[in-house]
Amino acid sequence: MRMLGPSVMTALPRVSARAMALFIPLAAGTAPPTGLIVDTDIGGGACMDVDDVAAVCAANAIADSGRAELLAIVQNTQPPACTGVISALLHHYGRDDLPIGAYKGDGLDHSGQLSYVADLANNFPAPIKNSSQVPDAVDVYRSVLAAAPDRSVAISSIGLMTNLETLLRSGPDQHSQLSGSELVAKKVKVLAAMAGAYPNLRAPGVMKECNMCGCYNGADAKSSATAGGASAFVYSNMPASVKLIFSGLEVGVNVRSGAVLETCAPASSPCRQAFMDYKRDNSGGWAPKGRCSWDPLTTLVAALGVSDDLGVAECTNCSGYNHVDPDGSNHWVPGAATNQSYLVLNDADVAGQAIDALLCQPPSRRARSE
Ligand SMILES: *[C@@H]1O[C@H](CO)[C@@H](O)[C@H](O)[C@H]1NC(C)=O
Ligand SMILES: *[C@@H]1O[C@H](CO)[C@@H](O)[C@H](O)[C@H]1NC(C)=O
Ligand SMILES: *[C@@H]1O[C@H](CO)[C@@H](O)[C@H](O)[C@H]1NC(C)=O
């Protein structure tokens, strides 16, 4: 961060430290706004859940308030109608023009989806109904990254690592002469990933985290091998200059959000409808304040940074890196400093309230497209 010169400092003697912290980036005026890409397994595949809906809706609310620029949403799973859910949510927020992509590799056969997927794709207005109508996610990633200022992009990875693997393995194309790895190193400043458990999840009998292994909900061997292989590849090939913040199973599981949509949002909101469908059909995963908040919390961290305002901090005394095996298990390897860390939860209520406040924020751009 650039510091203000002494003359400016003396001109503002009574400004509090907190106000100065807010003032400095504005005064500097050179840092580009964070551009946000959300890479989601919304509603379908081995780790299907409804918290992706909270993540995508919250990302739109953050963009509405100008605190980040939403650049693209990409789907990292196979079920075609999940792309229709993304389009329904973007339409609700007046963003029909936002790029959407979907994983088009052949490694995923898991076609399971939650009940809200068909409900939103069939019953809510949207220009796109399924993944056949959008480009390959790697094409969207490369196009958006190529156009972004250097080190300005935050990625919220809230599903499988399939798209990120394809991106890192990609070569030069019409969007950029750079390889995928070079493009990521040049353009991405932070990757916040809901993936794994920290510092490890290796106790005997403990399940692996789903986004790392793609192995829940009756996943077939081929789909799990694709998902686990992608995770191991991505976290051993991510350029070292990218800040990696892992958001573990143990963080989001303790934060609940989304129930408030029932009363704060109108019936015409697809964000609300997805949560109501989930509450009706998946009551085992529901609590009074709603669903676990793995994905929205990770997305807020990607877009807004780690802060007390989100009830989370980065780990301390955790110098080292995350090791991921091809079966999707992970553990933290203590050692030399890297640009990797993981989240610790300080206040679950603060985290949940930060998410709920965004979910209840009415769309501000809607009139432009309705
Ligand atoms: C995808 O949606 C389009 C437009 O509604 C439709 O014509 C097509 O049959 C759908 N494809 C699949 C695989 O559902
Ligand atoms: C961390 O990232 C910065 C760029 O943000 C880079 O200069 C530095 O070398 C990285 N540190 C390590 C240990 O890789
Ligand atoms: C820091 O971590 C190391 C190993 O990871 C441990 O041995 C040590 O006790 C920790 N120190 C503190 C102050 O927690």
Whether 338 is in the pocket of ligand 2, judged by its Cβ within 6 Å, is yes
Note the pLDDT of residue 203: 59
Per-residue tokens: 300: 């807020």
Residues lower than pLDDT 70 in the chain: 1-32, 201-206, 366-370
Q: Residue 17, class by beta-carbon neighbours within 10 Å (0-12 exposed, 13-18 middle, 19+ buried)?
A: exposed
Kindly identify the ligand whose nearest atom is closest to the C-alpha of 199.
3
pLDDT tens digits for range 186-228:
999 999 999 999 987 665 556 799 999 999 999 999 999 999 9
Of all atoms in ligand 3, which is nearest to the CA of residue 320? 5
Kindly identify the ligand whose nearest atom is closest to the C-alpha of 335.
3
> What is residue 312's DSSP assignment?
E
Whether 317 is in the pocket of ligand 3, judged by its Cβ within 6 Å, is yes
Give the distance (Å) from ligand 1 centre to CA of residue 119. Answer: 15
Give the distance (Å) from ligand 1 centre to CA of residue 132. Answer: 7
Are 356 and 291 a contacting pair, CB within 8 Å? no
Whether 240 is in the pocket of ligand 2, judged by its Cβ within 6 Å, is yes
Kindly identify the ligand whose nearest atom is closest to the C-alpha of 319.
3
Torsion of CA 232, 236, 239, 240, to 10 degrees: 130
Note the pLDDT of residue 347: 98
Give the distance (Å) from ligand 3 centre to CA of residue 198. Answer: 15
Of all atoms in ligand 2, which is nearest to the CA of residue 189? 5
Which of 241, 245, 319, 322 gets mutated to test ligand 2 (max ligand atoms within 8 A of its CB)?
241
Give the distance (Å) from ligand 2 centre to CA of residue 188. Answer: 13
Whether 316 is in the pocket of ligand 3, judged by its Cβ within 6 Å, is no
**Percent of the chain with pLDDT strictly greater than 90:** 87
List strand residue ranges (DSSP E) for the chain, in order: 35-40, 69-75, 100-102, 153-158, 188-194, 243-247, 256-258, 290-292, 312-314, 320-324, 330-334, 340-345
Of all atoms in ligand 2, which is nearest to the CA of residue 337? 13
The residues with which 250 forms a beta bridge, in sequence order, are: none
Which residues have CB under 6 Å of ligand 1? Answer: 80, 129-130, 132-133
Whether 32 is in the pocket of ligand 3, judged by its Cβ within 6 Å, is no
Rounded to whole angstroms, the Cα distance separating 161 from 74 reads 11
Rounded to whole angstroms, the Cα distance separating 176 from 141 reads 11
Are 292 and 51 a contacting pair, CB within 8 Å? yes
Kindly identify the ligand whose nearest atom is closest to the C-alpha of 317.
3
* Amino acid identity, position 309: D
pLDDT tens digits for range 48-98:
999 999 999 999 999 999 999 999 999 999 999 999 999 999 999 999 999
Give the distance (Å) from ligand 3 centre to CA of residue 319. Answer: 10
- Nearest CA owner, ligand 1 atom 12: 130
Rounded to whole angstroms, the Cα distance separating 350 from 370 reads 34
Rounded to whole angstroms, the Cα distance separating 176 from 272 reads 39
Rounded to whole angstroms, the Cα distance separating 223 from 323 reads 21
* Phi-psi map region of 223: left, alpha, beta (phi>0 left; psi -120 to 50 alpha): alpha
Of all atoms in ligand 1, which is nearest to the CA of residue 81? 14
Q: Which of 35, 38, 239 is nearest to 148 (CA)?
A: 35
Give the distance (Å) from ligand 2 centre to CA of residue 328. Answer: 26
Give the distance (Å) from ligand 2 centre to CA of residue 176. Answer: 23
Note the pLDDT of residue 25: 43
Rounded to whole angstroms, the Cα distance separating 5 from 84 reads 51
Strands 290-292 and 256-258, how do they pair? antiparallel
Give the distance (Å) from ligand 1 centre to CA of residue 130. Answer: 6
- Nearest CA owner, ligand 1 atom 5: 129
Q: Residue 21, class by beta-carbon neighbours within 10 Å (0-12 exposed, 13-18 middle, 19+ buried)?
A: exposed
DSSP letter for each residue of 73-117: EEE-S--THHHHHHHHHHHHTT-TTS-EEE---S------B-HHH
**Phi, psi values for residue 70, rounded to 5°:** -80, 125
